[in-house]
Amino acid sequence: MRRRKLGRDVFHRWEGNPVLTLEDIPFRCNTVFNGTPVKLGREYLLLLRVEGQQGYSFFALAKSWDGFHFEVEEIPVLFPAREGVFGVYEQEGIEDPRATSLDGCYYVMYTAYSKYGPRIALAKTEDFHTFERIALISEPGNKDGVLFPEKIGGRYVRLDRPIGLGVGSIWISYSEDLYAWGDSKVLLSPREGYWDSYRVGASVPPIKTEWGWLEIYHGVQMTSSGPVYRVGTALLDLEDPSKVVARCKVPLLSPRENYERIGDVPNVVFACGAIVEPDGEVKMYYGAADTCLCVATAKLEDIIMYTVSG
């Protein structure tokens, strides 16, 4: 008898994956991937990165009642700015949104792309249809910004991934007002001899748990045929998130299925958000091979266990 395909990773892929492909998009585009979810009452919203046929990205919105079957709206919700300061730095698209509920609204950190390189931008929304751009909150050479869902010690806190000297580590920074950021420290670096030996970056906005802040991040290993992107986890101290309490030894999701291995960028699983259900099930949404959008689930306690002991 053939062995079951599920169960090789801590995260279990939904049997109906991919959740969304090009065929589900009601307008012409190249691909859909890297989406961030929120739950508004009983409804799931997914803010999606859609890449247009010219290769630049923008955001569309999908809706669902069960977190698995999504309908994509006909009109995209956010395009790269064409004027003002954002117009200069979004000329080559907006990418990888990450939504955080805070102060009674949603903040979305995303990557603004231009000929100067990637910068982190911050926007605000209540309904995911109208967005107020707040600020460009990093210089170029930075991406993977995620905002914590509450202030810690009276300050806003974010993780990001500046690419100093080509080494991609996850950093932590603080802000009084969401505009000016500082007190930056390196938090998690690539580990020689591990699956995340080449680069790491924040993926999912930190999740508060009784064991610490859970950060679901991506780790990259360079191979002779290019990079492999996997999903891993770390726990940060609740009061002082610049302290790493635990970090997984092995990844919790690795590219294995064809839709994760074959696409515009092969061998990529890249999460941008997760929903923790009341029963402790974590639904993690991830882009696969930069060509479709998928979901995988795991119990929060299992994720913590693998982070601490895996």
CA distance 109 to 133: 10
Cα angle 64-100-279, degrees, rounded to a multiple of 5: 55
- According to the binding rule CB under 6 A, does residue 160 interact with ligand BMA? no
Stretch 173-232 residues interacting with ligand BMA (CB under 6 A): 229
Tokens (6 digits) for 242: 């610049």
- According to the binding rule CB under 6 A, does residue 255 interact with ligand BMA? no
Stretch that binds ligand BMA, among 189-197, 248-256, 262-270, 294-302 (CB under 6 A): 262-270
- Figure out which of the listed residues 11, 86, 89, 270 binds ligand BMA, where binding follows CB under 6 A: 270
Tokens (6 digits) for 54: 């010219």
Quick check: 273 and 216 in contact, CB under 8 A?
Answer: no
- Figure out which of the listed residues 34, 142, 221, 254 binds ligand BMA, where binding follows CB under 6 A: 34
212-223 and 226-236 beta bridge pairing: antiparallel
Stretch that binds ligand BMA, among 65-73, 101-109, 121-129, 264-272 (CB under 6 A): 264-272
- According to the binding rule CB under 6 A, does residue 163 interact with ligand BMA? no
Provide, rounded to whole angstroms, the least separation between the CB of residue 1 and ligand BMA: 36
- According to the binding rule CB under 6 A, does residue 59 interact with ligand BMA? no
- According to the binding rule CB under 6 A, does residue 268 interact with ligand BMA? yes
- According to the binding rule CB under 6 A, does residue 96 interact with ligand BMA? yes
Stretch that binds ligand BMA, among 14-22, 177-185, 263-271, 295-303 (CB under 6 A): 263-271
- According to the binding rule CB under 6 A, does residue 90 interact with ligand BMA? no
Quick check: 293 and 51 in contact, CB under 8 A?
Answer: no
Residue with tokens 């009276």: 154
Provide, rounded to whole angstroms, the least separation between the CB of residue 261 and ligand BMA: 13
CA distance 184 to 170: 10
Stretch that binds ligand BMA, among 13-21, 35-43, 252-260, 265-273 (CB under 6 A): 265-273
- According to the binding rule CB under 6 A, does residue 287 interact with ligand BMA? yes
Provide, rounded to whole angstroms, the least separation between the CB of residue 275 and ligand BMA: 20
CA distance 148 to 130: 22
The residues that touch ligand BMA, with contacts defined as CB under 6 A, are: 34, 95-96, 229, 265, 268, 270, 287, 290
